[in-house]
Amino acid sequence: MKGKFVEATPRTPRYRSLWSRIRAKWFVRDLVIVSVIALTVFGMLTQVFWFLAARELDGRLLIEIPEGASVRGIATILEENGLVRDTEKFVLATRLLGQTQSLQAGTYEFGPEFSELEVLLALKYGDVAGRHLTVPEGYRASQIAALLESALDIDPAEFMDLVHDPDLMAELGVSAPSLEGFLHPDTYRFRIGTTARWAIVMMVSESRRVFDQRRMAWADSIDMSVLEVLTLASIVESEAMVDRERPRIAAVYHNRLEHGWRLEADPTVRYALGNYRRKLYYSDLDADSPYNTYRNRGLPPGPICSPGVAAIDAVLKPLPGTQDFFFVSNGDGTHTFSRTFDEHIRARNRVSRAREGPVDGEFSLDTAGGQ
């Protein structure tokens, strides 16, 4: 078969040589592609980890993002304060995440540990710097003012002026001698830079929220206004030390009101005197004030502190069937309740002996119907 053309087949050496060269080229091409993809993915992951990596500051840092600042302007502020490593990378990440129009102005607080993603999310959601502040049940407006001064540097004098500002009360729909008692006790998150006015609006708004339709219906059922409920609840809040006694203390005061008796509540005398720490003396019970329930019948003009929900509900739902008209402190936070004045006197004497008796002229027992 000399001189005859023989077609190359996979079995021939010539075909195998050609196929090997093709496969080698494909391998090199694939290796280059895979390498490029791997390097790209590695680079992307490196940037992602960089964006997610936790960083630390010495303490906490406050920064101000002005209104109308561009993404690049915001990134520059962040880089100048050490919150991002690279302005361009932060801008790129913001664009890739579609957040260029979402970053909000305000005062922000970061540290001691943070990531650049957390910085971005804080700006996106407007998570501005703030302080959590708990207003305890039974606090007076003056005590709340002191708390706000300590936590937020709010001027207590300005706060108290606003508490008694008739224009602000009208704006908030409160008809009362002041906003005392309408500053609902709760835990609030106040932004850095919160004003005295805004703090008051937040607390009064929470008080209005507490008086939902259900509680308004309860108030209507006992023929009391919101102001009257808060006023009596503030007295109950000031008297009660044990939660379970609130409905019974409220029932005592309801009984006295229904029978036209004076409430004779010690906390109202302390409020009238403006002295909340020292013990009362019999001479104090003659204080000339509409808040002195030893001299005046009915409720005082307004609340004497900020009552909590439990005290409000105790006034709205006092202990049913209670025939008590008196109570006296046992000195351990509990009270002894009495139906008659004679029972009350015996209870007072028993407690006085246990406490070695009051100093001459001192009215040392927290009572309802104390004399």
On whether residue 1 sits in a domain, the answer given is no
Whether residues 115 and 176 share a domain: the answer is no
Cis preceding linkage at 112, omega within 30: yes
Whether residues 246 and 354 share a domain: the answer is yes
Q: Which residue ranges of the chain lie beneath pLDDT 50? A: 1, 5, 38-39, 41-46, 48-49, 359-365, 370-371
The CA distance from 134 to 222, in Å, is 31
The CA distance from 341 to 371, in Å, is 9
Write the CATH number for 99.
3.30.1490.480
Residue 333: domain span: 241-300+318-368
What is the structure's pLDDT at 204?
Answer: 97
Whether residues 157 and 261 share a domain: the answer is no
- Chain centre distance of CA 106: 20
Whether residues 269 and 206 share a domain: the answer is no
Residue at a domain's end among 125, 144, 162: 125
What is the structure's pLDDT at 364?
Answer: 47
Whether residues 206 and 245 share a domain: the answer is no
On whether residue 167 sits in a domain, the answer given is yes
Total count of domains within the chain: 3
Residue-wise pLDDT for 92-135, tens only, equals: 888 888 888 888 888 888 878 878 888 888 888 888 888 889 99
SS (HEC) of the chain: CCCCCCCCCCCCHHHHHHHHHHHHHHHHHHHHHHHHHHHHHHHHHHHHHHHHCCEECCCCEEEEECCCCCHHHHHHHHHHCCCCCCHHHHHHHHHHCCCCCCCCCEEEEECCEECHHHHHHHHHHCCCCEEEEECCCCCCHHHHHHHHHHHHCCCHHHHHHHHCCHHHHHHCCCCCCCCCCCCCCCEEEEECCCCHHHHHHHHHHHHHHHCCHHHHHHHHHCCCCHHHHHHHHHHHHHHCCCHHHHHHHHHHHHHHHHCCCCCCEHHHHHHHHCCCCCCEEHHHHHCCCCCCCCCCCCCCCCCCCCCCHHHHHHHHCCCCCCCCCEEEECCCCCEEEECCHHHHHHHHHHHHHHCCCCCCCEECCCEECCC
What is the structure's pLDDT at 336?
Answer: 92
The CA distance from 300 to 360, in Å, is 29
Residue-wise pLDDT for 190-248, tens only, equals: 988 899 999 999 999 999 999 999 999 999 999 999 999 999 999 999 999 999 999 99
On whether residue 236 sits in a domain, the answer given is no
The CA distance from 313 to 246, in Å, is 9
The CA distance from 199 to 155, in Å, is 12
Whether residues 70 and 134 share a domain: the answer is no
On whether residue 189 sits in a domain, the answer given is yes
On whether residue 49 sits in a domain, the answer given is no
Whether residues 121 and 142 share a domain: the answer is no
On whether residue 253 sits in a domain, the answer given is yes
What is the structure's pLDDT at 45?
Answer: 40
pTM recorded for the entire structure: 0.75
Identify whether the C-beta of residue 176 lies closer than 8 Å to the C-beta of residue 125.
no
Whether residues 112 and 151 share a domain: the answer is no
